[in-house]
Structures are given as structure tokens and as C-alpha cells.
Amino acid sequence: MKMSAKKALAGVCMLALLAGATAARADVTIALGIPATGGQIAALGAQAKLGAETAVAAINAKGGINGEKIDLQIADDQCDPKNAVSAANQVVSRGIKFVLGHLCSGASIAASDVYNDEGVLMLTASATAPDLTERGHPLVFRANGRDDQQGSVGGKFIAEKFKDKRIAIVDDKQVYGQGLAREAGKVLAAAGIKPVYVGTINAGERDYSALVSRLKDEKVDVVYFGGYHTELGLIVRQARQAGLDTRFIGADGIAANEFWSVAGEGGAGTLFTFSADAKDKPSAQEAYAELKKGGEPDNFAFYYYAAAQTLAKAIADAGKDPEKVAEKLKSESFDTIVGTFRFDAKGDLVDPEYVVFEWRDGKYAPTKL
Amino acid sequence: MAYFVDQFVNGLTLGAVYGLIAIGYTMVYGIIGMINFAHGELFMIGAFISLIVLLLLAQLGVASVPVAILITLVLSAAFTALWGYVVERIAYRPLRGAMRLAPLISAIGMSILLQSFVQLVQGAGQKSLAPMITGRVVVGELDGQPVEIAVVRIVIIAVTLVLMTAFSLFVARTSFGRAQRACEQDQKMAKLLGINVDRVISLTFVSGAVLAAVAGLLYTVYYGSIDFFIGFLAGLKAFTAAVLGGIGSLPGAMLGGLLIGLIEVFWAGYATAEYKDVAVFAILVLVLLFRPTGLLGRAVVEKV
């Protein structure tokens, strides 16, 4: 069964090659920038490929884009910025105008420079580094949350659930943590909540007792923390030792088992934002059934499916000119299997969906608060 | 006021650890006039051995925390002492009598070697230990609020005080202490009088390593998170403490350690955590400018 499918695929490829120029003109070619080879990360690439291919198959089965079939071509970047540049150059030399990906932040940033120069539109569904869309490239889009957008989700959560508590904001002065804390602070300020303490720590240190005493002195109930699990684990440990039962809220940097092994039982109740699991969404069930045929899909598969849907819809509405497609992406909203996508002027997803998780007994699960 | 007391205890805890490490620096300097830059790494090795022993004991079902810590203390001190002896034997003794710079460079090489060794055999990631000593005791009342101190802090400060006292007595009262002070004053004369100088120097390294191992254990139990690089900054701070107190002076190292701990914590507590290392090292610069021999150091008379 598998064998014959492969043979059929090979046959199709041969035909496509023979058909050559004529076929390319009639189809909409989209490149998929992923690490197709190269170590562990290739497993994530396979997920993205599964998602994008399943979506393209579904769209083509329904008649493609205004009658034209989508032709998906893999651009292998091995998750490496250098390889991403050569992969991007190949995409450009093949005359492809639309790219899904790249998967990794570093590779996406490197490739986006090439695409920007050559007028190619790219839409990633996994690169989280804020820098990708911060450099003013008009054709770069992202269908997933940015590192710093989680901050506003965390801030909103505090504003809703801990409105009358004494709030503090602490960050580690690094790009990720600072971005989180800044966004959380903005949301709190908009909600009229003034933190009783705003401070920073030095990442990589061990002794945070001065901070803990400060939080104790200010009688802080809830701390929004922008940073990683290494530092928060130590802070929580030292806080519990000092008899401080403040609740901490962080972001996906806290989703690591080492947090629990340093913080110990005192880590219970610590909250953090993390991407929602697409598997549980009613809107994704039909696609889930299709995706499962290619193995158990994770969030990457679902989000690349949704990105392919979005791109196809935008091309269908605006035609094959990348600039027009970009305008379309920025001006409309797109229904996908994981929810509705809207993009802001930078090309970032508006209100990406995050869920608040809670640590308990060495594991984390969506919070019941 | 409660805040002040809280921060003061924080500073004492941190300073106790620095002080224990600083003694190793100051004693080695006192006897052979060399900064043992690999000393911070001995502290790191002590921390790793402590962690390994504690995890092993937990596997073996030793449930009593004081027993586990006592066994770890002995084993960690013994193994780290062995490391201290070996380091001196292979990296410094062959260079005795060589130009002053040679053992210093050898020390830096040793420091890199030990760091890389631990990184290779233990991995670069953080190793963690769940909190062992929990609980607090109320020590009094201030402004109507109870002042609490974590038991683990009391343990750290008490262990350090006991060790420092014992060690000072050891150097002041025993025959080894006398031999050690004799070698410090005049090695050639001491040798003429029948003192085995090499043995005394070895023992000095060993005792410094024992104190570093204890510091490593306290650090592991308190912070519960170590990696191969912790010796660098802790060593640098302890070295600063030794210089601040007057390098070569035993009480100076203890005082310097406490001061550095307090400066660091008070700076972070009342100013900003951002520049606390800057504050510490700025004070080092100032002390060296206005009091080159440190707070308790004696002016060295150049022997002609």
C-alpha cells in the first residue's frame, strides 16, 4: 500500500517535471520552509509538512484556488539561518512567490531578508521571536503568538482574577522576559491596576533573597514574572523558605520540569501562559481525522494546516500578487481550523490564543482558577 | 525595621559562604604568596560531591536530614580535600621557586581544567536538589510583626561560625598551626628548624579545600541548583572578600566575606539588583586605592 503510494507520487513528480513550464503557470506554487533533514528538529518539520500537505490536499480536493491547484514544494533549511538563506534563494530562483514557514525563528529571520528583497510573501506558523516582524518587512506574516504577546495574556489574567491584590512585576532584563513584563504592565495599567513593586533580577544568579525580602516587605500577593524557569525556580524556593506564599505567574519559559525540581512542593499554584492545545477544538476535529492518517499530529501540524488555509484564502481573494495578498491579510480575518486569524500592521497575529496553566504535584495542567 | 533585619540575615547567610571560601584564598596567599585561582573550582567540586552524596543517601533511604547532611559533610570534605591535595601536588609544587607568574598561570589553567572536567562528566545543565531543610523560627517581634528566620539560614550561619572558630583555634593553638605560621614568616628558616615545608603547604591547601567543600554543601542545600560554572563568580567574590579583609589575614577573610555578603544584599535591597556586582567590585577598587593592605591586613615589609 505504502509502496504503491510512493510509486504513484514518483509518477506524479515525473509528470510534473515533464509538464514543466505549462503546469507551473497554471498552478499556484507555495514553498514550505522547514527543517526536512537534520537531527531532532526534523521531527517538527515533519509535523509542519503533515499539516501543510493535508491542508493543501483538502483545498485541492475542493477545486484549489479559483480552479488552480496548489503545488507545495519543500525548502529544507535544517533550522539553520545559513541554510535558510540558500533555501530562500532557491525558492526565489524557482520563481515561487509564496512561502509557508520557516519553522524556526532564526531560520525565519534569515530567510525573511531574502524574501523581502525579492518580493516574496512568507507566513510562518511557528517562529516566535519578536524580531521577525519588528524589522518592517511588509511581506512577513506570523500565524502564531510572539514571545511578548504572552505578556498581555498574563496581564489580562491578573487583571481579571487578582484585581484587588497587591501586584508586582519582575523581569530578568532579557529580550524574552522584558517583553513579557512590559506587555503585562501595559495591560495592568490599562485596567487601572498599579503594581506596588516593579523590579528586575540578574539572570544566571543564585541568590534572590534580596528580592524575596522586598516582596515580603511590600506584602505582594501576586508577581508577574518575565523570564525562565531557572530563575523562577530559585525565587520560588527562596520565597517559600522565607515564609512568603506569593503566587507567581510566568509564561511558557516556566513550562519545564526543572522548575519543579528546584522549587519543590512550593512551586504548586505557580501559573504560566502556554499555547492552547489545538486537538481539543471542535473546529479542528474534521482536520484532526485527516491529519491522523499521517501519524499523531501535534500543534505544529494544526497551525501549519491553518496557515495554509489562510494563505490559500488570501490568494483566492487577492490574486497572485504578493503585495495585494499582504494587503488582504492585513485587512481581513480568516477562519481556520484553530480559530479566526487577524493580522496587525506588522504582520503579527492579533490576540493569539493562550491558555493559563498551573503547576501542581510536579505536573502542569490548565488552571481551574 | 523588619525589612532591615530580613535583609541583614540574607546578607549574613551569603557572607558566611563567601567567608568560608575566602579563608582558602587568604591562607594559600599567606603561605606561598600566590592567588590560587582554582580555589573557586574546589568549592564547585565540593558542591557537586555534596549533591551526589545527598542523592545517593536519599536512594539508600537515609530519611533523617541531620544524619544525611553530616555524612555528606564528611564525605564531601574528604573528597574535596583530596582534590585540593592533588591540585597543589601537580600544578603548584613543581613550580615552587619558579618566577612568581608561573604558578599563577598554572592556577588559571587548573581552574579551566577543573571546570571543563566537571562540564564533561556532569554535563553543562543545571543540577537540582529539592528543598531539604524547611521551616522557620520566630526570633522576636518588631513593629508588631514577628521576625522569622528560615531554619536553613540558621544552619548555614551556625555551621560557619563553628567552623571559623574551630579553624582559628587550630591555627593559633596546634603544632600544625605553629608550623604553618612559621612557614608564612620565613620558609627557609622553618626548613632549617626541621619543619617539613612541603607537607605544611599541602596541609594548607587541604584545609582550604575542606572549608570550600563545606561552603559547597551549604550552597547546594540552600540554593538547590548548581552547575559547573558556580565556582567562577563565587570564587571571584570570595577573592574580593579576602582582599577586602586584608589578604593573608584569617579574621580579615571572615570579615571581608560578611561585608561582601551584606553589601550585595543591601545594595539589591535598597538600591537596585542591577548594579550589585558593580557595587561590590567598586568597593574593592576603593579599598585597594586607599588601604592596599585591606581592612585587617598588616603592611608587608619588603625583606631585602
Q: Indicate which of B65, B151, B223 best probes the interface with A, i.e. most A CBs within 10 Å of its own CB.
A: B223
- What integer pLDDT is reported at residue A19 of this predicted model? 45
Q: Which of A198-207, B41-50, B77-86, B272-281 has the lowest mean pLDDT?
A: B272-281
In a domain, B299, yes or no: no
- Which residues, at least 6 apart from A179, have a Cβ–Cβ distance to it below 8 Å? A130, A146, A147, A148, A151, A226
* Backbone dihedral region for residue A76 (phi beyond 0: left; psi -120 to 50: alpha; all else: beta): beta
* Chain B residues within an 8 Å CB radius of A256: none
Range of the domain at B96: 2-290
Task: Inspect the interface and report whether the beta carbons of A201 and B6 lie closer than 8 Å.
Answer: no
Q: Give the pLDDT confidence of A176-225 residue by residue, as tens digits.
A: 888 899 999 999 999 999 999 999 998 888 899 999 999 999 999 999 99
In a domain, B225, yes or no: yes
* Chain B residues within an 8 Å CB radius of A206: 219, 223, 225, 230
User: If you measure CA to CA, which chain B residue comes closest to A198?
Assistant: B272
Q: With a cut of 50, say whether residue A22 has pLDDT above it.
A: no
In a domain, B302, yes or no: no
Identical fold at A2-145+279-342 and A149-250? yes
- The angle at the Cα of A208, spanning A205 to A209, to the nearest 5 degrees, equals 145
Share of chain B above pLDDT 90, in %: 64
**CATH for B276:** 1.10.3470
B274 reaches A (C-beta below 8 A) = yes
**How high is the ipTM of this complex?**
0.88
- Which residues, at least 6 apart from A335, have a Cβ–Cβ distance to it below 8 Å? none
Q: Give the pLDDT confidence of A225-236 residue by residue, as tens digits.
A: 999 888 999 999
- What integer pLDDT is reported at residue A24 of this predicted model? 44
B7 reaches A (C-beta below 8 A) = yes
Residue A81 host element (H or E): helix A81-93
pTM, rounded to two decimals: 0.79
Average pLDDT over residues A166-181: 90
* Cis-peptide, bond into residue A102, ω within 30° of zero: yes
- What integer pLDDT is reported at residue A363 of this predicted model? 87
User: A149-250 — its CATH code?
Assistant: 3.40.50.2300
Measure CB to CB from residue A241 to each of B134, B274, B277 and give the nearest one. B134
Q: Indicate which of A213, A216, A218 best probes the interface with B, i.e. most B CBs within 10 Å of its own CB.
A: A213
* Chain B residues within an 8 Å CB radius of A230: 126, 225
- The rounded distance, in Å, linking the Cα atoms of A242 and A238 is 6
In a domain, B47, yes or no: yes
In a domain, B157, yes or no: yes
- What integer pLDDT is reported at residue A18 of this predicted model? 46
pLDDT classification of B11: cutoffs 50, 70, 90? very high
What's the CATH number of domain A2-145+279-342, 3.90.1150.10, 3.40.640.10, 2.40.160.40, 3.40.50.2300?
Answer: 3.40.50.2300
In B186-249, where does DSSP find H-type helix? 187-192, 197-223, 230-245
For chain A, the structural domain boundaries read: 2-145+279-342, 149-250
Average pLDDT over residues B119-134: 86
Domain count, chain B: 1
In the DSSP assignment, the letter for residue A270 is -
- What integer pLDDT is reported at residue A263 of this predicted model? 92
Q: Give the pLDDT confidence of B226-255 residue by residue, as tens digits.
A: 999 999 989 999 999 999 999 888 899 999
In a domain, B25, yes or no: yes
How many contacts, defined by CB atoms under 8 Å, are there between A and B? 85
Task: Inspect the interface and report whether the beta carbons of A243 and B130 lie closer than 8 Å.
Answer: no
